[in-house]
Amino acid sequence: MPAFDYHAHELYCEDVPLAKIAADVGTPVYVYSRGEIERAYRAFDAALEGIPHEICYAVKANSTLGVLGVLVQLGAGADIVSAGELYRWLRAGGVASSVVFSGVGKTEGEMKIALDAGIGCFNIESAEELAVLDRVAQSVGKRARISIRVNPDVDPETHPYISTGLKQNKFGVAMAEARGLFREAAGRPGLHVVGVDCHIGSQLTKTSPFSDAIARLVELVQGLGKDGIKITHVDIGGGLGIDYGKGDTVPSPAEYGQAVRAGLAPLSSLGIKLVTEPGRVIVGGAGALITRVLYRKNNEAKHFTIVDAAMNDLMRPALYNSYHPIRPVERPDREVCPTDVVGPICETGDFFARDRALPTLDAGELLCIGAAGAYGAAMSSNYNSRPRAAEVLVDGASFTVIRARESYEHLLAGERLA
Ligand code: LLP
């Protein structure tokens, strides 16, 4: 049964009516289904059965403490891209040893914090970063476990802003340079080479780019073996897409697992562990943004539904022109007509949908913007001095406010008059 579904004409998350959450907590509010996070995690885990593996959840997809807590309980590790994400992960009860640290711009301060915590692996993205980490690790008397992120120059066929594995992208080290850099790393006293890594992009809707990237990693691991460098894990990043309800087809975790298994088969005798960094596929479908209709209006030929959520709450449509499913919380079976669903922010980019077929809603009615569990709350801001939305985790018939709606005092935190 889907996590967000109608029970007689009324939309629920698990066993809780969304209207009840909106009445108790106010709107806009992010609602997550604990059951759906667990289901998605277990499906992904099961798809990799038979391969020794570790799932390092990409914290950036949704870094709310209460969501991280669910992942910790499921036994996930974490893929982080900042010391702030490490802080959150540890505060949620996560262990440092199952953390991988990605990103092209780690600062020395962040490296020290991560070394001090004892993270599992730094995913190194350039020769300069390699040299800095070596120096920093030696200065604190540690040896940093590292992998080198390579750029396999594979087209993930996704939105250009979230493609990362093409040679024109800023990520990773060119394949041609990778082997030399691994040899250099192996000779540095502050570093311990343990893995190879790549991440080619997000919201991938085919398995072939993963297979192509894995083939290049396999070749690299074999080459490193000849150089006497023993690799203990291969990290293939995240990126598996989800269904946003626009009729896109996405591979199931099982199909993804099959492609990964086939790709890694040449390494199976080497006892190498697979590391993955999924974000969206774990939390994307488990969250929705609930918003209330404020006004309706017609401008010439267009009809607008103005809601109390805005691009500061969910910026994916504004940033990537992305599609999110939108449903009325009550009485879905009304006649529909096209409307633009827009927020109160003073920009034309502040929209959730254009010409979407929806019932003509009255002011005060609720809308559910679906598939918003990943890169929704995590990318929200205070633009237009709007306090950030509350976040709620539903578990069966009960729910917990895992993040309170921000107050006006919060808006000014840290500020002062000159
Ligand atoms: N690993 C690394 C190194 C990453 O950069 C990312 C995402 C992931 C893992 C997780 O990818 P996922 O499994 O979630 O696709 N804000 C955009 C997505 C940006 C993705 C950035 N990197 C969006 O809303 O679509």
Same structural domain, 136 and 216: yes
Are residues 262 and 255 in contact, defined by beta-carbon separation less than 8 angstroms? no
Among the candidates 219, 249, 276, a domain finishes at: 276
Burial of 77 (0-12, 13-18, 19+ CB in 10 A): buried
287-299 and 273-276 strand pairing = unpaired
Question: Within 227-322, where are the H helices?
Answer: 253-264, 280-283, 316-320
Residue 238, ligand 1, Cβ within 6 A: yes
Q: Flag whether the pTM goes above 0.85.
A: yes
Beta-bridge partners for 367? 291, 328
User: Best of 280, 316, 352 to mutate for ligand 1, by most ligand atoms within 8 A of CB?
Assistant: 280
Domain with residue 219: its CATH number is 3.20.20.10
Residue 376 CA to ligand 1 center (angstroms) comes to 12
Cα separation, 355 vs 341, in Å, equals 8
Domain with residue 319: its CATH number is 2.40.37.10
- Asked whether residue 299 is domain-assigned, the answer is yes
Same structural domain, 234 and 309: no
Same structural domain, 305 and 399: yes
Residue 172, ligand 1, Cβ within 6 A: no
State which ligand 1 atom lies nearest to the alpha carbon of 284. 14
Same structural domain, 171 and 257: yes
DSSP string of 122-179?
Answer: EEE-SHHHHHHHHHHHHHTT--EEEEEEEE------S-GGGB-SSTTSSSSEEHHHHH
Residue 237, ligand 1, Cβ within 6 A: yes
Q: How far is CA 302 from CA 246, 293, 295, in A?
A: 22, 17, 14
Among the candidates 224, 242, 276, a domain finishes at: 276
State phi, psi for 320 to the nearest 5 degrees.
-120, 5
- Token pair in block for residue 234: 């291969």
- From the CA atom positions of the chain, what is the Rg in Å? 23
Same structural domain, 296 and 250: no
- Asked whether residue 28 is domain-assigned, the answer is yes
Same structural domain, 359 and 315: yes
Same structural domain, 255 and 296: no
DSSP string of 176-211?
Answer: HHHHHHHHHHHT-TTEEEEEEE---BSSB--SHHHH
User: Best of 41, 55, 57, 60 to mutate for ligand 1, by most ligand atoms within 8 A of CB?
Assistant: 60
- Give per-residue pLDDT as tens, 349-406: 999 999 999 999 999 999 999 999 999 999 999 999 999 999 999 999 999 999 999 9
- Asked whether residue 397 is domain-assigned, the answer is yes
Residues contacting residue 416 through CB under 8 Å, at least 6 positions apart: none
Q: Looking at ligand 1, which residue's alpha carbon is closest to its atom 16?
A: 375
pLDDT in tens, the chain (418 residues): 899 999 999 999 999 999 999 999 999 999 999 999 999 999 999 999 999 999 999 999 999 999 999 999 999 999 999 999 999 999 999 999 999 999 999 999 999 999 999 999 999 999 999 999 999 999 999 999 999 999 998 888 888 777 777 777 888 899 999 999 999 999 999 999 999 999 999 999 999 999 999 999 999 999 999 999 999 999 999 999 999 999 889 999 999 999 999 999 999 999 999 999 999 999 999 999 999 999 999 988 899 999 999 999 999 999 999 999 999 999 999 999 999 999 999 999 999 999 999 999 999 999 999 999 999 999 999 999 999 999 999 999 999 999 999 999 999 999 999 9
Residue 23: domain span: 4-32+284-412
First and final C-alpha spacing in the chain: 56
- Asked whether residue 333 is domain-assigned, the answer is yes
Same structural domain, 215 and 296: no
Cα separation, 183 vs 229, in Å, equals 8
Domain tally for the chain?
A: 2
Residue 391, ligand 1, Cβ within 6 A: no
Residue 33, ligand 1, Cβ within 6 A: no
Residue 201 CA to ligand 1 center (angstroms) comes to 7
Same structural domain, 214 and 295: no
- Asked whether residue 89 is domain-assigned, the answer is no
Same structural domain, 196 and 250: yes
Same structural domain, 289 and 188: no
Q: Is 342 left (phi over 0), alpha (psi -120 to 50) or beta?
A: beta
Same structural domain, 251 and 295: no
CA angle 263, 170, 121 (to 5 degrees): 60
Q: Looking at ligand 1, which residue's alpha carbon is closest to its atom 22?
A: 202
Residues forming the active site: 346
Q: Is 414 left (phi over 0), alpha (psi -120 to 50) or beta?
A: left
- Asked whether residue 16 is domain-assigned, the answer is yes
Residue 80, ligand 1, Cβ within 6 A: no
- Asked whether residue 61 is domain-assigned, the answer is no
- Asked whether residue 324 is domain-assigned, the answer is yes
Among the candidates 276, 308, 324, a domain finishes at: 276
State which ligand 1 atom lies nearest to the alpha carbon of 379. 16
State which ligand 1 atom lies nearest to the alpha carbon of 319. 24
